[in-house]
Amino acid sequence: MSLALFDLDNTLLAGDSDYLWGVFLVEKGLVDGELYKAANEKFYQQYADGELDIHEFLNFSLNPLSQIPMPTLAGLHEEFMDQQIRPLMTALGREKIEQHKELGDTTLIITATNRFVTEPIARAFGVDDLIATEPEIIDGRYTGRVAGTPCFQRGKITRLQQWMEANGETLEDSTFYSDSHNDLPLLNIVEQPVAVDPDPQLEKTATDNGWPVISFRD
């Protein structure tokens, strides 16, 4: 059984769920609006530039989870899905997932965005499993800290290797779909890297290496 790996933000989604969750928190008045918006914009630009300090960002992005009880968070996420996420779920991304399933492939979303934000989105796309950055939970509440290795840049390889060891899978005949040059470490080790609506740096790398360049945008 082959692995079909999908990045989430700006790949299967026509937008960034991590950034949009921050926008949603500001709109709901759950964080200091001006300060949080400025920091959210700063980190998003650092990600685009390939200069993001993932631990600094996670200290910022996971902290609000620690301030809100889990049942309240669940209700907020349902609203977030309806308002921000479902309109951005690409039909062509769904079709590609289904094509791989019909071939008998195992489909996974592998994303730097934390599991709280992404798990309901992964369910909505119908993938077999999710590898995401894990927020720490103690005594039924988020602590605001990360558990284990963040699923970002080379951390995606670490997390995928852990998943493959646990599930008896390999990268033989594997495919990875991504939009971002931050995913080049993983793109370089799968058998079939695919650039999806790529950023300029990834588009150049894909072109130089003869990788497919496709779009999931309608």
Rounded Cα distance between 205 and 84, Å, is: 31
CB-CB contact of 146 with 135 (8 Å): yes
> pLDDT grade, residue 172 (50/70/90)?
very high
Tell me which residue range forms the domain holding 135.
Answer: 1-218
| 16 classed as catalytic | no
| Closest alpha carbon to 182 in 89, 135, 112 | 112
Q: Which of 9, 105, 179, 183 is catalytic?
A: 9
CB-CB contact of 127 with 7 (8 Å): no
| 208 classed as catalytic | no
Tokens of 96: 């590609």
The domain that holds 5 is classified in CATH as: 3.40.50.1000
Distance between terminal CA atoms of the chain? 30
Q: Which of 7, 18, 105, 179 is catalytic?
A: 7
pLDDT tens by residue, 176-209 = 999 999 999 999 999 999 999 999 999 999 999 9
* Number of structural domains found in the chain: 1
CB-CB contact of 144 with 65 (8 Å): yes
